[in-house]
Structure 1
């Protein structure tokens, strides 16, 4: 059956949904409306893992090949703590520039016959005439905000401040650097996404941010200070930012967004308009693309729109439970960095890799490290951690509070 779909927002989720729907039925009438001119985007690189690439190859091999060919890979992580460093092998990670990813998806959608309307803003008062309107317009979605009461939108602010920067330093692996300043700890996550650039996310507690004066300086002054703090990992390369309207640096507080429901009539939420997960787990783009896959499947398998949207929401909510839990614990790990930072670097780095665990906040770090090493050699202990984690965490927490641990 031929359907008319309007995707509001030309990010990865909206573009990939249009590709999948056109691939399912070339007669579908699909339009992507993007308020910005073609070729403009925010951000630097995005990360993903092999399982996403496998899904992309299964859905649309042509765009998947282009994504893979334009990506860089790493197989290990490195952590710098004060003047010490440690490395750990890991699963293969992938990075691609956000601009390049959008180029690939835009070209593929256009080749399939998707209508692309750039520099075209859609407002809640004047929705496109379509069987389905997809709100893929991001965390600040105007279409969702207009019906926030219906969607049950909630935004929860994190504690730490962060800024999303680029650099011409090309890291050879996923890189963490923790620096102790006169006003507390400040740290960065860095990863390559192209032949000449890397992403560099810098984070710190609010008291460190204000103590260093980062709340008061211009972007260029802030970049100079950060380049000095992280000189040992940047090797003389500059940090590159995106100035805000008043010339100040783009420091933010991450907001976790949830919605009670994801659809209203023929309007459905997609990607960051529906949910966000803390950037420290690097899953935002992956989840948005997986949303598009799930919605395309549901529309293919159900003739009735209400049934299709209900299935999409049900599937994605279930899939997000573990990811949202991991993101919550990951953010908390960094908010409680001083609990782990004085461990030997190799132990601190091992617990950094375990920051998604619901047990970790309630077990003394040195003890957890020993338990985790034992669990790595025992499938039974791994199953215990996976299935009983929340219950054990509550029990351990109670024992700690009662003085029995």
Structure 2
């Protein structure tokens, strides 16, 4: 089968890898409009469920991704920089640039033709392709040309946000909410590589305008944010440019498509669906799409049937994830409704923003604010992580 993937992000590259592993006879080309390494952003987060999938699907790239990742333990929520509350759990983060380098090299090793600086302006260029996989992100130009056929609905979130880096290393997943005379502004940060943390700032639109971010240049914006978050940054700097491209304020793009298939085209990853960044699931869902589609192409005799099953099963799986993401986004767009609470109750409200909590959960939350309980919870988490790593055959030296 001749397959063309439009977009060399995690979705497109991992689809190429997954399809080649299942049938080395596939002729697969991945095209990307940008040059190599011209990615945006800093680190992306994921959890053990993704590592389980990656190790089962392709141990070679999974080991490299895990080696390039940073482990973080616990989550801390701060109000005014003085009140703190905690949530348990652990996760992983990996910088987007090395993640894409690993996937591109693995695809190339499997004889996938990865072409950079190649824009898909006219799909007639791929008239001989049996399948065109559209994986060029939330702002997919290819999907926009066929918006009516896919039943595309695109909405913008209300809150402005900016994706930055910092040379302060946060060892926990950190949320910090600061009150200014113009309103509340907050960040969430996590370690993403040696000596660097990802630092995502968000606020309501009225606060953003009152603080002047709609008028300030890049350097002025960075200085103002460093001043606002002076205490949690502890004298460290914010970094705007990732690989030469300065960060810019954005509003989250919600993407929904009634169908992910049209003729010999199929949407995957953010081109098909998006989930708000406060859930940290975009990369996991993109790579899960890739594995599912590759499996359907192997399992079904006809490509049309493979796309039909992928579309139906994928939509069913995404319903809960997108509903949860919408709830999470709405909570952060209305954060000021909760900021009159103490940090512990504020943290509890945030932890339940996208799911119903059983009655006993609040008492458990209160218990885990104590240091001894947190240490016990961390030990339990370490044991769980060790058991899952051993089960999937991961090296335990880290």
Distance 1:197 1:299 in 2: 40
Q: Is structure 2 residue 177 aligned with structure 1 residue 188?
A: no
- Of 337, 353, 356 in structure 2, the residue corresponding to residue 355 of structure 1 is 353
Higher RCO (C-alpha 8 Å, min separation 6): 2
Alignment CA distance shift 1:200-1:64 (3 Å): same
Structure 1 unaligned regions, length at least 5? 360-367, 378-405
Q: Which residue of 2 aligns with 1:231?
A: 230
Answer whether contact 1:110 1:116 (CA < 8 A) is retained: yes
Pairing 1:6-405 to 2, within 5 Å after superposition: 6-128=4-126, 129-242=128-241, 250-357=248-355, 372-373=361-362
Aligned residues: 364
Structure 2 unaligned regions, length at least 5? 367-398
Q: Under a length normalisation based on structure 2, what TM-score does the superposition of the two structures give?
A: 0.88
Q: Which runs of 4+ in 1 moved over 4 A?
A: 368-371, 374-377
Answer whether contact 2:240 2:246 (CA < 8 A) is retained: no
Alignment CA distance shift 1:28-1:369 (3 Å): closer
- Alpha-carbon displacement from aligned partner over 1:111-146 (angstroms, at most 9, x marks no partner): 111111111111234342311010111112121111
- Alpha-carbon displacement from aligned partner over 1:88-112 (angstroms, at most 9, x marks no partner): 2422210000001001101111111
Answer whether contact 1:190 1:200 (CA < 8 A) is retained: yes
Q: Under a length normalisation based on structure 1, what TM-score does the superposition of the two structures give?
A: 0.86
CA RMSD of aligned residues (A): 2.0
Answer whether contact 1:76 1:87 (CA < 8 A) is retained: no
Q: Secondary structure at the match of 1:193?
A: strand
Q: How far apart are 1:248 and its partner, in Å?
A: 8.9
Distance 1:265 1:186 in 2: 46
Q: Which residue of 2 aligns with 1:390?
A: none
Answer whether contact 2:78 2:85 (CA < 8 A) is retained: no
Q: Secondary structure at the match of 2:124?
A: coil
- Alpha-carbon displacement from aligned partner over 1:236-278 (angstroms, at most 9, x marks no partner): 11111149x9x99611111211011111110111111111111
- Alpha-carbon displacement from aligned partner over 1:334-360 (angstroms, at most 9, x marks no partner): 111122112121121122111102x5x
Distance 1:201 1:376 in 2: 25
